[in-house]
Amino acid sequence: MLEQHAATLGRTTTQDNSGRAEHERQLHLYEQVQAAKARGLSGNAIAKLLGIHPVTACKYANMATPPDRLLLPSGTFRRLATYVPSIYQRWHDGCRNGAQIYEELRRQGITVSVSTVGRSLTILRAECGETGKWATVAPTVQYIPQAPPLPSFTPRQGAIVFSKTPDQLTPRQKAQLDQVFAREPALVPLYDLVQTFGQMARTLGGSRLDEWFLQVDASGNAHLHAFAKSLKKDEAAVRAGLSETYSQGPVEGHVHRVKLIKRSGYGRMSFPLLRQRVLSPQRGKAA
């Protein structure tokens, strides 16, 4: 199954073997980190023991399942969609000449290299059991390859998708989200709680904060429970931020301005000069 997926995506055998070897290395590292975690070691201790970065150690220690293989790099679908359907269509029409297909794609304004077209035809010949002849043949039964798998869902992509509203998601992100929910149904209530909090922040719905706290407690999710616990430490400020229309933006802007002036004269500016530079624009505006 993986070989056909890799072939459909236009990967060579060397590239597929390299990706498989990298995934095996990640699985081995995951087992080592989990074994060290079972011994009670912290993330920093695991990093020192295995000679890896502390962030990597903590990431593998917090994983509930082994890492999936990243089958597609970011942006691959967009590039594939520009030329793969055209190559398949010409193959269906009986064309077996890679140079001819390349010229046709170039005239259509599609950016693709000759080697990519040739590699795609080589893969099609291997999967269809044909020889390396370049002569045009009569159209036959259409070859329908398997759809390429969805790319792996990284934590960063998950955070982006969970924070967006459903109408802001692209078709690709919606497909990723459906795939994740199919594999992990327990993430559906987590997604609903994240969306509810985001809606409160966007619509100043602080009156629903107590209800949200109760839903988080009932969910049993440790990460959300820790987040809610941190909010309760300064609940009055959080409630005001979710309810009031006021913002500390102007204050933060002035602080940023003062820091910029200070850093621009670091080592070359006395306090009186710093004071004059900070106050002079304000005096000019008042005048």
What is the tens place of the pLDDT at every residue in 3-45?
Answer: 344 444 555 567 677 778 888 999 999 999 999 999 999 999 9
**Calculated CA dihedral for residues 72, 78, 79, 84, nearest 10 degrees:** 90
My answer on whether 255 and 215 are in the same domain is no
Instruction: Tell me if 70 is assigned to some domain.
Output: no
Say if CB 102 and CB 117 are below 8 A apart.
yes
The domain in which residue 91 lies consists of 80-150
Region 248-263: what's the mean pLDDT?
A: 88
Where is the domain boundary, 138, 165, 184?
Answer: 184
Residue 41 CA to residue 96 CA, distance in Å, equals: 59
- This prediction's pTM: 0.48
Mean pLDDT score of the chain: 81
Q: Using one digit for the tens of pLDDT, what is the confidence trace for 276-285?
A: 888 876 544 4
Instruction: Give 243's contacts (C-beta < 8 A, 6+ positions apart).
Output: 204, 205, 206, 207
Do 196 and 222 reside in the same domain of the chain?
Answer: yes
Residues 19, 42: contact at Cβ < 8 Å? no
Residues 105 and 161 in one domain: no
Domain for residue 31, yes or no?
Answer: yes
Q: What pLDDT is stored for residue 238 in this prediction?
A: 92
Whether residues 242 and 276 share a domain: the answer is no
Q: What are the Cα distances from residue 176, in Å, to 163, 181, 208, 262, 287? A: 14, 9, 30, 47, 58
Domain ends where: 101, 134, 150? Answer: 150
Same-domain check for residues 193 and 146: no
- Residue for token digits 């409160």? 200
Please identify, among 30, 61, 92, the residue that sits at the C-terminal boundary of a domain.
Answer: 61
Flag whether 224 is in a domain: yes
Same domain flag for 145 and 164: no
Task: Determine, yes or no, domain membership for 67.
Answer: no
Same domain for 44 and 84, yes or no, is: no
Q: Which of 35-39, 97-101, 245-249 has the highest mean pLDDT?
A: 35-39
Kindly state whether residues 215 and 231 are assigned to the same domain.
Answer: yes
Which H helix or E strand runs over 81?
A: helix 76-92
Residue 270 lies in a domain: yes
Q: pLDDT band at residue 140, thresholds of 50, 70 and 90?
A: low
91 and 110 housed in the same domain: yes
Q: What is the pLDDT of residues 187-205, one digit of tens each?
A: 899 999 999 999 999 998 9
The total of structural domains in the chain comes to 5
Same domain, 193 and 238: yes
- Give me the pLDDT at residue 6, please: 41
What pLDDT was estimated at residue 137?
A: 78
130: which 2 tokens? 């044909």
In a domain, 75, yes or no: no
In this structure, the answer to whether residues 142 and 165 fall within a common structural domain is: no
Higher pLDDT among residues 74 and 29, named by residue? 29
